[in-house]
Amino acid sequence: MIRGIRGAITIEHNTEEDIQSATERVAKAVIAENNINPDSVTSVFISVTDDVNAGFPAKVIRQFEGWKYVPVMCMKEISVPGSLPKCIRVMFHVNTEAAQDEIKHIYLDGAIVLRPDLHNS
């Protein structure tokens, strides 16, 4: 079965370094907490808010050992007035036998406000 595993993080500055560092942090946390093997991943979608445009977050995941052939795509998050700024969201589509309530979604830094109900799960 394919399950979506979410993650999100905010950056302080719209720089390539901050984008790469934050993407690496949230992606590695999602991977580690859910014991994800790249061969079980169908694809990874990454969205960014309008104020995050100094680099490609997908580039980071493609550089992980064993992730070269995993389809990874970046896109813009819809721009809703008052929404969380400087946010990078990831969605891993993973083949897993885990139940929905066994999935560990990861929200870091300012992105914790997006799903406080899942923060400690």
Residues identified as active-site: 6, 62, 74, 77, 89, 107, 115
Tokens at 79, concatenated:
């721009």
> Torsion over CA of 64, 120, 10 and 111, rounded to 10 degrees?
140
Query: 13: which strand partners?
Result: none
- The alpha carbon of residue 59 and the mean position of all alpha carbons in its chain are separated, in whole angstroms, by 13
Distance (Å, rounded) from C-alpha 118 to C-alpha 9? 14
